[in-house]
Amino acid sequence: MSRHWFFATLIVASAGISTGAFAHGDEKHFAAGAPGNPKQKSRTVEIVMREGNGTMSYSHDVIAIKRGEQIRFIIKNEGALTHEFMLASVKENEAHGKLMEKYPEMEHDDPNGKTLEPGKSAEVLWKFTKSGTFEFACLIPGHHPAGMHGLVKVK
């Protein structure tokens, strides 16, 4: 567990807000499914983050996925600012975004989210075990309202 995850979990626990995961024994449960298994087959989806002309965006607005499918998100920050990719339910991302307004220095290196400096890339391997609509978003204050969010529709 990263120290950022520990810090975020400690703050969230004291604030009563969910980050998209909760512990159950030694196992974590996530709204959008579970961390993937690198030994299993996956489909790669590249997500590019950038900003310009007063907006911030991802290269995808909507991604369609079949329930049970494993996705290898290759996330690239081609912008001039730090951005992040946080995969959770829309409601959880909204609550986490409010928490980040209070603690804007919070960084993520979690199974369902990464913070990336300009020019950096990362990977999130995810198995979508549940049907529904989920969100990937940049929760750095001001980024989500500027357009930095997208949906994952799992059928």
CA-to-CA distance for 155 and 62, rounded, in angstroms?
A: 13
The predicted model scores a pTM of 0.81
Query: Per-residue confidence at 78, pLDDT binned at 50, 70, 90?
Result: very high
User: Domain 3-154 belongs to what topology?
Assistant: Immunoglobulin-like (2.60.40)
> 118-141 pLDDT, tens per residue?
999 999 999 999 999 999 999 999
Q: Does the pLDDT of residue 29 top 70, yes or no?
A: no
Q: If residue 103 lies in a helix (H) or strand (E), which one and from where to where? A: none
Mean pLDDT of 80-92: 95
The CB density around residue 32, as the number of other CB atoms within 10 Å, is: 24
102: tokens are 């209070």
In this predicted model, which residue has the larger pLDDT, 143 or 25?
A: 143
Band the pLDDT of 28: cuts 50, 70, 90. low
Domain map (residue ranges) of the chain: 3-154
